[in-house]
Chains A and B, each alone.
Chain A
Amino acid sequence: MQIEVTINNKKTTLEIEKDELLADTLRANGWLSIRKGCDSSSCGLCTVWMDGKPVLSCSVFSFRAHGKSITTIEGVRGEAGELARFLAAEGADQCGFCSPGLLMTVLAMKRELPDPTEETIKHYLTGNLCRCTGYIGQLRAIKKYLGVA
């Protein structure tokens, strides 16, 4: 089946299988920032935005992206680069496998929560797992990036 979808502000028509998942479709079409970590909707590595909302692309059927706008980290390169520098400065970026999903979630949070606190940041990021760096450095970096005391 075919879907028409806007990926990173570019309208495109994609040929998909009926039961294909968005993470696989995006990767197959060159958006290689999408990582698959768990296949059980629990790690947050595959986070993209669908119409501006962060979703797990491993748990969304591709046909549901028809008519929607999808943003991957390639679509917010400048902003993501700035956030990545904060993470690097705090030693919070080790293997980097979870970074695209984490960055997409933090940038979504920045848009959604006007005045986050440490607690709301932690709650918002519950669904992003990291298995090497740990979370304290990430939290430190994100708080600095967002200007949270």
Chain B
Amino acid sequence: MNKSGLTLGRVVQPDTIEEAYQALTEHKDSAVLGGCAFLLLGSRKIGTAVDLSRLNLDYIKEQDEHIEIGAMATFRDVETSPVLQAYFSGVLPGAAGCVMGVQFRNIVTVGATVYSKYGFSDLITPLMALDAEVELFKGGRMPLAGFMEQPAARDILTRVFIKKSPMKAAYQNLRNSATDYPILNVAVSLLHNRWRVVVGARPQRAQIAPLASEALSRGTPNLESVDRAAGLAAEELPFGNNNRGSAEYRKAMCKVLIKRAVTEVLECK
């Protein structure tokens, strides 16, 4: 056992996704290993650890219609990807770059973060704003927003897809220090006069703010309408307390971050 309190009974390193899924579902105490950074913070006994390192899922590819991100691509891959820097105002590289240090971002993976639906994730919030899709080995392909609402199931996330478009986007976050989890984060996107506002670290998982998104999409936003939409988001989403901030604080700061993010998108060329 290592000092973190995480123990692995058996390690399997499958060469195919089918073998990985079989290993995962054969035993109740099995788990998939992604970047493992968050897993190592806890104390847990994993009977069979299914390591995805040999499945060649550590890539970011530009396809004809989509940008495809393999589950084992790291946050640093996202941060430094020329493809992702060229699309969506570079919102994903910017968001990934907010996470801890370079050494950490060279470890943590996109698949593990998205599959775990971490409320504090810096990546899920902008991915939802970009209307990304996820592919699960058994569950198939679906919108990330829908996946976030699904109950937990034993499956393996293999890829994330983002449709290529001239969508503009921005990401804003609030943290106590650069190497802490975000207290709150916000991503907004704009495509063909349709806005989407997403708020994460409430501290629950990220959610779309439908009323705020709709309000922004009515006409060209101005100071007043942005203010109104930010207020709508703060009212329509539930916020909670944890040791990083109170629900009241999150609700107040949500308005600020939305206004900043919308302003940033309006200034995007």
B104 within 8 A of A: yes
Residues of B near A145 (CB, < 8 A) are none
A41 and B6 within 8 A (CB):
no
Interchain CA distance A44-B101 in the complex, whole Å? 8
CB distance from B241 to the nearest CB of A (A): 22
Interchain CA distance A50-B103 in the complex, whole Å? 10
Given contacts A41-B37, A41-B40, contact A126 B100 (CB under 8 A): yes
Q: Which residue of the partner chain, among A39, A54, A108, contacts B4 with CB atoms under 8 Å?
A: A39
CB distance from B85 to the nearest CB of A (A): 14
Interface size bucket, B side? Answer: 20 to 34
Given contacts A19-B2, A21-B2, A127-B101, contact A42 B10 (CB under 8 A): no
CB distance from A47 to the nearest CB of B (A): 5
Residues of B near A125 (CB, < 8 A) are 101
A63 and B11 within 8 A (CB):
yes
Interchain CA distance A59-B2 in the complex, whole Å? 10
A18 and B100 within 8 A (CB):
no
Interchain CA distance A50-B4 in the complex, whole Å? 21
Interchain CA distance A19-B1 in the complex, whole Å? 6
Interchain CA distance A129-B104 in the complex, whole Å? 13
A41 and B100 within 8 A (CB):
yes
Those of A11-63 within 8 Å (CB) of chain B:
17-21, 24, 39-42, 44, 47, 50, 53-56, 59-61, 63
Interchain CA distance A42-B51 in the complex, whole Å? 23
B102 within 8 A of A: yes
Considering the complex, give the chain B residue whose CB is closest to the CB of A124: B102
Q: Which residue of the partner chain, among B4, B9, B97, B107, contacts A60 with CB atoms under 8 Å?
A: B107
Given contacts A39-B4, A41-B40, A59-B36, contact A53 B104 (CB under 8 A): no
* Complex interface bits, B102-115 against A, C-beta within 8 A gives 1, otherwise 0: 11101100000000
Considering the complex, give the chain A residue whose CB is closest to the CB of B101: A127
Interchain CA distance A108-B103 in the complex, whole Å? 10
Residues of B near A63 (CB, < 8 A) are 11, 13, 51
B103 and A18 within 8 A (CB):
no
CB distance from B34 to the nearest CB of A (A): 11
Given contacts A19-B6, A39-B3, contact A61 B33 (CB under 8 A): yes
Residues of B near A56 (CB, < 8 A) are 37, 103-104, 107
Residues of B near A41 (CB, < 8 A) are 37, 40-41, 100, 104, 107
CB distance from B62 to the nearest CB of A (A): 22
A95 within 8 A of B: no
Interchain CA distance A129-B101 in the complex, whole Å? 10
B225 within 8 A of A: no
CB distance from B48 to the nearest CB of A (A): 11
Task: Apart from A17-B2, A41-B107, list 4 A-B contacts with CB within 8 A.
Answer: A21-B40, A39-B3, A39-B4, A54-B106
Can you list 11 A-B contacts with CB-CB less than 8 angstroms, sorted by A residue number?
A19-B1, A41-B40, A42-B100, A44-B101, A53-B106, A55-B107, A59-B36, A60-B36, A63-B51, A64-B51, A127-B179
